[in-house]
């Protein structure tokens, strides 16, 4: 599950508020006492951002906002805002009504929580307050999934949530611009996998389903109501159409119709192809897929059933699984990742005897297949995103430690940036090096740019001089003269004159001329002028000669320079 707290430029932002589905006790929810021991979350958090509607990213939201207490803004995209309360309610029903648990949020709490939600549009820059701004990017993964760019002053963080870098049958690929964040926080569910091409996986999936149907078996596909389910439905629908298959396909629970309706109304969040053709043919109107009824599970003959939830940890999918597990003709296809502790996770690890509630055991005889359809970025995708965003630091979350370690090595090697992978409850501090924005007077800038010539010369950097005026919260860089003028100060000239005596029988003018020729011969590359008023100037140092009053052969050399020049030449 995901729940990350980011402190940036004095702002505290909670990224996702997920729930662990493997636990049934307090460990299910994040430990919010970690954030603040005493005092309200509202005072501490500036905002909460939810990346998408999966419960491991938003499941603890009503608990946090209504039971722990948080009244500040919660940001999520429109589809997430629409779908998230349905999944929360669904989950609440299973937990409270079926399992009879108490100390859980109520329907009213979900509603109250959703009232605190501010919808977020893609690419819209939302000013949370004067300093904190957030911007959402398309993340693929599921309908309405977003990555967020969080910026305070010149520091920034990108949080990916879950994302997918390859377009699939119903969603597009994640995209972000070159925003160069200080930290990129990326999920790493498939940190080590580089998955084969989508087409192969799809063909594989269809082949397995088809074979099972041919030999009269039943196929169970545990899914979450929204997301992967729609992609697989599109896939099976077109396959059934093409192969002219007759075996029924069912989709469990009343969510189907509703879920598909969400896809129709939020069609702008799907992929290019579906969006282009939706007026003529809406891809989410299925001909072959019908609503499931509990009694159908005992019907003879082959069938395909999509049932919720996806990890076989509760609900209808678990019920059907129990019914079908004993027959080796049947098959269960797990199209996504399963959290540790769930039955889905156990059977994928090859466990063939399952302990059920009430000390009974269940023999698993049906075929178990794993098809990674869950739309997470694989190692290649994560690297691709790093290339897109060009972060200065990398932080991996939402994955397994061993796999993350491998990816961390790869990232550090390829991009030479620091990569962190904190465990739950761990704090990572990343020092940033922000530059200071300053207002420069246009006169000074233009003068400097004109002097610097059209093209910069890296070998001969030109130094610009100016004075920085710091007044209240403004920083202004102006020329020194302007600074004095603006502040009503007079410039103070500090000059030094040094008398050097030397013996020289020539006249004053001759002595000066000899000095001039001598300097001219030794100081090459300097501007040396012999001025008609009887002075020699080396750059801006003035040299004068006068005879001593007592002895005409003793000449007094007056060298005069201003305080500023010592700094320049010494």
Catalytic residues: 187
Span near other proteins by CB under 8 A; candidates 34-42, 214-222, 396-404, 432-440: 432-440
How many Cβ atoms are within 10 Å of 186's Cβ, its own excluded? 29
Residues 268-327 that bind other proteins (CB under 8 A): 268, 278-279
122, 137 contact by CB (below 8 A): yes
List the beta bridge partners of residue 354: 362
Span near other proteins by CB under 8 A; candidates 216-224, 230-238, 357-365, 439-447: 439-447
- Burial bucket for residue 183 (CB in 10 Å: 0-12, 13-18, 19+): buried
Using only C-alpha atoms, the chain has a radius of gyration, in whole angstroms, of 36
Is 465 a binder of other proteins (CB under 8 A)? Answer: yes
Is 20 a binder of other proteins (CB under 8 A)? Answer: no
Is 447 a binder of other proteins (CB under 8 A)? Answer: no
Could you give the count of Cα atoms lying within 13 Å of 469 in the half-sphere of its Cβ?
18
Shortest Å distance, C-beta 241 to other proteins: 23
Quick note: the x/- pattern for other proteins over 75-104, rule CB under 8 A, is ---x--xx----------------------
Is 549 a binder of other proteins (CB under 8 A)? Answer: no
Among 402, 423, 436, 450, indicate the residue that binds other proteins (CB under 8 A): 436
**Full DSSP string of 215-231:** TT-EEEEE--TTTHHHH
Span near other proteins by CB under 8 A; candidates 43-51, 417-425, 522-530, 543-551: 522-530
Is 438 a binder of other proteins (CB under 8 A)? Answer: yes
- What is the biggest distance separating any 2 CA atoms in the chain, rounded to whole angstroms? 133
Shortest Å distance, C-beta 452 to other proteins: 7
Shortest Å distance, C-beta 415 to other proteins: 21
41, 35 contact by CB (below 8 A): yes
Among 242, 281, 471, 533, indicate the residue that binds other proteins (CB under 8 A): 471
Is 502 a binder of other proteins (CB under 8 A)? Answer: no
Q: 27 or 261: whose CB is closer to other proteins?
A: 261
Evaluated on CA atoms 334, 339, 345, 348, the torsion sign reads positive
Is 125 a binder of other proteins (CB under 8 A)? Answer: yes
DSSP 234: H
Q: 224 or 269: whose CB is closer to other proteins?
A: 269
Is 435 a binder of other proteins (CB under 8 A)? Answer: yes
d(CA 134, CA 148): 7
d(CA 286, CA 250): 11
Among 452, 513, 520, 554, indicate the residue that binds other proteins (CB under 8 A): 452
* Tokens found for residue 369: 């297949």
543, 497 contact by CB (below 8 A): no
The angle that helices 379-389 and 401-415 make with each other, rounded to 10 degrees, is: 40
Among 349, 497, 507, 517, indicate the residue that binds other proteins (CB under 8 A): 497
Among 200, 401, 523, 531, indicate the residue that binds other proteins (CB under 8 A): 523
Is 149 a binder of other proteins (CB under 8 A)? Answer: no
Shortest Å distance, C-beta 454 to other proteins: 11
Q: What is the dihedral of CA 352, 357, 358, 362, to 10 degrees?
A: -20
Among 194, 265, 428, 502, indicate the residue that binds other proteins (CB under 8 A): 265
Is 215 a binder of other proteins (CB under 8 A)? Answer: no
Shortest Å distance, C-beta 44 to other proteins: 27
Is 439 a binder of other proteins (CB under 8 A)? Answer: yes
* Strand (E) or helix (H) holding 115: helix 107-115
Shortest Å distance, C-beta 62 to other proteins: 16
**Full DSSP string of 172-202:** ----------SEEEEE-TBSS-----HHHHH
Among 445, 505, 509, 529, indicate the residue that binds other proteins (CB under 8 A): 445
**Span between the terminal Cα atoms of the chain, in Å:** 63
């Amino acid at each position: 599950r995901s729940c990350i707290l980011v402190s940036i430029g004095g702002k505290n932002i909670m990224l996702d508020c997920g729930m662990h589905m493997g636990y049934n006790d307090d460990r299910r929810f994040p430990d919010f006492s970690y954030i603040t021991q005493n005092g309200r979350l509202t005072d501490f958090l500036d905002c909460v951002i939810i990346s998408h509607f999966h419960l491991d990213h938003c499941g603890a939201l009503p608990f946090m906002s209504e039971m722990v207490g948080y009244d500040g803004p919660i940001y999520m995209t429109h589809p997430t805002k629409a779908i998230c309360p349905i999944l929360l309610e669904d989950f609440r029903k299973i937990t409270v009504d079926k399992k009879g648990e108490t100390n859980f949020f109520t329907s009213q709490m979900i509603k109250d929580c959703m009232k605190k939600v501010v919808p977020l549009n893609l690419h819209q820059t939302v000013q949370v307050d004067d300093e904190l701004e957030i911007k959402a990017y398309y993340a693929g993964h599921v309908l309405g999934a977003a990555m967020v760019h969080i910026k305070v002053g010149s520091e920034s963080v990108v949080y990916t949530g879950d994302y997918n870098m390859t377009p699939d049958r119903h969603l597009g690929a994640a995209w972000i611009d070159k925003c160069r964040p200080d930290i990129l926080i990326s999920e790493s569910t498939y940190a080590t996998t580089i998955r084969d091409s989508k087409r192969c996986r799809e063909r594989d999936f269809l082949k397995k389903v088809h074979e099972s149907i041919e030999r009269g078996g039943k196929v169970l596909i545990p899914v979450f109501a929204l997301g992967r389910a729609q992609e697989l439905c599109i896939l099976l629908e077109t396959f059934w159409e093409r192969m002219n298959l007759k075996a029924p396909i069912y989709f469990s629970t009343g969510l189907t119709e509703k879920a598909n309706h969400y896809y129709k109304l939020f069609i702008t969040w799907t992929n290019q192809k579906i969006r282009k053709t939706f007026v003529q043919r809406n891809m989410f109107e299925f001909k072959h897929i019908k609503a499931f009824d509990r009694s159908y599970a005992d019907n003879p003959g082959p069938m395909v059933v999509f049932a919720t939830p996806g990890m076989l940890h509760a609900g209808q999918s678990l019920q059907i699984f129990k019914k079908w597990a004993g027959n080796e003709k049947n098959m269960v296809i797990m199209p996504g990742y399963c959290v540790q502790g769930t039955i889905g996770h156990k059977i994928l690890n090859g466990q063939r005897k399952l302990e059920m509630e009430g000390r009974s055991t269940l023999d698993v005889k049906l075929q178990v297949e794993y098809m990674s359809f869950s739309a997470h970025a694989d190692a290649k995708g994560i690297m691709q995103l790093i290339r897109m965003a060009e972060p200065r630091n990398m932080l991996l979350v939402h994955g397994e430690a061993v796999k993350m370690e491998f990816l961390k090595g790869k990232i550090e090697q390829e991009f030479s940036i620091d990569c962190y992978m904190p465990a739950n409850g761990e704090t990572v501090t990343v020092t940033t090096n922000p530059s200071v924005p300053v207002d420069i007077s246009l006169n000074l800038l233009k003068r400097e740019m004109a002097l610097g010539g059209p093209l910069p010369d890296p070998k001969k950097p030109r130094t610009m001089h100016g004075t920085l005026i710091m007044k209240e919260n403004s920083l202004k860089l102006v020329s020194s003269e302007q600074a004095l003028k603006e502040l009503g100060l007079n410039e103070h000239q500090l000059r030094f004159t040094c008398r050097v005596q030397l013996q020289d029988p020539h006249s004053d003018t001759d002595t000066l001329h000899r000095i001039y020729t001598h300097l001219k011969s030794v100081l090459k590359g300097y501007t040396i002028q012999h001025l008609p008023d009887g002075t020699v100037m080396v750059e801006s140092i003035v040299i004068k000669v006068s005879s001593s009053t007592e002895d005409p052969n003793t000449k007094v050399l007056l060298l005069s320079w201003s305080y500023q020049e010592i700094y320049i030449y010494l």
